Structure 1
Amino acid sequence: MDSDVQTYVSSHSDDEGYAGRIEVVTGPSGRRRWPEHVKAAMVLETYRDGVSVADVARRYDVSAPQLHAWRRAARDGLLPMPDDDALGLVPVLVSGDGGSRRDGGAGDSGAIEIKVDDVRILVPSTFDPGHLARVISAVRDAS
């Protein structure tokens, strides 16, 4: 039987040896305790594109405010997460070259440069964010 399910048995008879009618009620009782790895999995799921906190909360039968509290705990470092990069911000370095391009490309106004280890990725402003995430993941896995 699951650790978060308790069974209650009530007897409606004072006579010893005969229970009469027995009522068994099962289900979650009171506060549930979620293991840290389950909380972390739920929090990571809320950071996926197109997924809302309310959807994840409904799927796991958790209140949305509770899930927001776990997200805050993860950002503050109080909830151990398996992948710290999922919650952190990307460090940005603004160069002082006034936006001039070294390679002379004219059509890339608004482009950004991302460095992952020793790999330089030049991203035009019209690039698909989902595809960029896959590119960065592939570069990380390869390095």
Structure 2
Amino acid sequence: MGVHLDGSRGGGVSRLEVIEGPSGRRRRTKAERARIAAESMMPGVTVADVARKHGTTRWQIYDWRKRIRKGNLVVPKSIAALPIFAELVVDDRTAEASAAVTRSDLEIVIGDIVIRAGAGADEEQLRRAIRAARAAAS
């Protein structure tokens, strides 16, 4: 509730206007807070972008993230089940693998997508390729 005081006449209040309605503050459930905080922790996502998207501040999201770490806020199972990192699979089939991939090469499998990189692969290019593969797999 907002209050407007009109004190234009000699210092005394001549008119008092009470404005009713929402205060501008949003009331979010614990599940909503946890979902927004979890979204901000996904790879390649910035807290500022998530804050803008949901109409909150970065500091509020950082507070929710801290509550998650302390156990005061619980991430919904549907979000907690999402993979954060690509699964590492070691394949012992050396006869076929050695013909296609040399020892200095790297092979990353995300779902049906295989990323192969040489020993001199640029880390940022590899990071972008993994993000794209994750996005395509989900």
Structure with the bigger RCO (C-alpha within 8 Å, sep 6+) is 2
More deviation in 58-67 or 84-93? Answer: 84-93
Q: Structure 2: 5+ residue runs without aligned partners?
A: 6-13, 118-125
* Identity %, equivalent residues: 25
> How many angstroms does 1:41 deviate by?
3.5
Asked if structure 1 preserves the Cα contact closer than 8 Å seen for 2:35 and 2:75, the reply is no
**What are the residue-to-residue correspondences of 1:12-27 with 2, within 5 Å?**
21-26=15-20, 27=22
What amino acid does structure 2 have at the position aligned with 1:106? V
Structure 1 residues 102 and 87: CA distance shift in structure 2, 3 A: closer
Alignment CA distance shift 1:73-1:102 (3 Å): farther
1:96-125 per-position Cα deviation (integer Å, ceiling 9, x unaligned) = x6xx674320368121245x6xxx753223
Look up the equivalent residue of 2:133 and give its one-letter code: L
Q: 1:75 to 1:105 in 2, by over 3 A?
A: farther
Paired residues, number: 116
Q: Note if contact 1:75-1:87 (Cα within 8 Å) is conserved in structure 2.
A: no
Do structure 1's residue 111 and structure 2's residue 107 form an aligned pair?
A: yes
- Give the superposed CA RMSD: 4.1
Q: Which runs of 5+ in 1 are unaligned?
A: 1-6, 12-19, 138-143
Amino acid at match of 1:79: V
TM-score of the two chains, using structure 1 as the length reference: 0.50
| Structure 2 partner of 1:123 | 115
What's 1:83 paired with? 79
| CA distance in structure 1 between the aligned counterparts of 2:88 and 2:130, rounded to whole angstroms | 17
Aligned to 1:141: none
Q: Once the 2 structures are TM-superposed, how far is the Cα of residue 23 of structure 1 from its aligned partner?
A: 1.0
Give the 5 Å matches for 1:1-143: 7=1, 21-26=15-20, 27-28=22-23, 33-47=27-41, 51-74=45-68, 78-81=73-76, 82-86=78-82, 88-90=84-86, 92=88, 102-103=96-97, 104-106=99-101, 109-114=105-110, 122-125=114-117, 128-137=129-138
Relative to 1, partners in 2 of residues 1:24 and 1:86: Cα closer, same or farther, differing over 3 Å?
Answer: farther
**Partner amino acid, structure 2, of 1:35:** T
Note closer, same or farther for the CA distance 1:9–1:106 as it changes in structure 2 (3 Å cut): closer
Give the SS at the match of 2:134.
helix
